[in-house]
Amino acid sequence: MAKFLTFPKLCKQFHQDIGLVASSSEDLMSVLMQALSASERLQLKDELNELLSSEFSDQQLLDVWSASPAQVFFKNAQDLRSMLSQVLDHIR
């Protein structure tokens, strides 16, 4: 995951109490974006585009997430892809 510089910072926001801080998906996006500078958001956009591309299998995506500092885990890659797509859409 060394080539992903901003993605770990995003993942760090997925801590055990994120549900107490963000009660809706809109709140979650706000919390996530507040943790990143404008330049980091642009970098994250590129990183998410790469992670969500067909080059990354479901298992590879889950592996990258599992290796991150996130304390929230996803049961399947479809749910993870959906959440990461929401983040990407919010950046655009």
Q: In this predicted structure, what is the pLDDT of residue 19?
A: 77
Q: How far apart are CA 37 and CA 79, in angstroms?
A: 26
Alpha carbons 48 and 84: distance in angstroms, whole number: 7
Q: For the chain of 92 residues, list the mean pLDDT of each consecutive stretch of 10.
A: 83 88 86 92 95 93 95 94 95 84
Predicted confidence at residue 1, as pLDDT, reads 47
Name the pTM for this structure.
0.88
Domain ranges for the chain, please list them.
7-91
Tens digit of each residue's pLDDT (9 = 90 or more) over 43-63? 999 999 999 998 899 999 999
